[in-house]
Amino acid sequence: MHAFGARRLFRQAKIVALTRTKMSSMAASQHGYPTQSSEPWTKLTHTERLQDWFAYNPRTMRSPPLSYDTKCMKILSWNVNGLDNVVKTQGFSALDLAQREDFDLLCLQETHLEEREVENFKNLVAFYDNSYWSCSVSRLGYSGTAVISRVKPITVQYGLGIREHDQEGRIITLEFDGFYLVNAYVPNSGRRLRRLNYRVTSWDPCFSNYVKNLEKSKPVIIAGDLNCARQSIDIHNPPAKTKSAGFTIEERESFETNFSSRGFVDTFRKQHPNALGYTFWGENQRITNKGWRLDYFLVSESITDMVHDSYILPDVSFSDHSPIGLILKL
């Protein structure tokens, strides 16, 4: 079913789920949705901020809604840092988020699920009948990705097709009529940068070649935690982090070489060139907005004009990452 028709059915189905939604909203208000009076993401805490930089606030800076009859695809991407913990311990309701954001697809990273646990989450979002899961087989309960969709894709592919890189459940690719959607959880370089060399000399080039090969057939959307704050504006304290995983010179140069210079556009930065918008915060640092922007929607240059909105949802704080969103006109 086309996203446009599916969205209409979903809105009708909200009536059926009303009671459940009220209950989940009550739980959410106690956990992951700060009140409007508390918006720590609007604090300018960057140590080297320039005069024309400002804090991103989705409440005032989201693009205006499209008309009801405009065909579009709404995609959310979120590193949940353990799906079981987010749902059972933090009280997150995927249905509540679906009704609030009316998304068509939800890409998840770092699910931490084993294959035997997937069945417990296949109905994570009511009325979304298509879900695809990739779990780590080399280290159980580690990494992992998922895509939950109310639109059935044409094809689904798992991994890069390279055994060395496909043991940790990091890539799911969905093909739709007009594009490929690649849900990615790029390896973290880790403590003491023990995986830095693997990351920049092997994984990044192989991943880049994979998406460029897809692009020969259709435009590509890369969604996910790419584990790199690519510019100084994307991290609260650049001088102190140049030897930290996610902001090393090697990682940032690799990002530019393998993605930016090969024609993949950072949609949030294109829309908001001077906005400090973070998607990840270390322990106890969300309240002071000492964050990093590690999560992205990158798109092929050929479809940049179709992007209506690229945004962050910093009030969804059940994980140490917040979801990001993309609205693509079809």
Catalytic-residue membership of 308: no
* Overall size of the chain counted in residues: 330
CA–CA separation, 132 and 5 (whole Å): 21
Catalytic-residue membership of 165: no
Which residues have a Cβ under 8 Å from the Cβ of 301 and sit 6 or more positions away?
A: 263, 264, 265
Running DSSP on this structure, what letter comes out for residue 109? E
Q: Contact, 79 vs 111, CB < 8 A?
A: no
CA–CA separation, 277 and 263 (whole Å): 23
Active-site choice (46, 165, 236, 321):
321
CA–CA separation, 174 and 218 (whole Å): 12
* Residue 243, token pair as written in the block: 């030897």
Q: Contact, 309 vs 271, CB < 8 A?
A: yes
Active-site choice (132, 180, 185, 296):
185
Q: What radius of gyration do the chain's Cα atoms show?
A: 19
Positions marked active-site: 185, 321
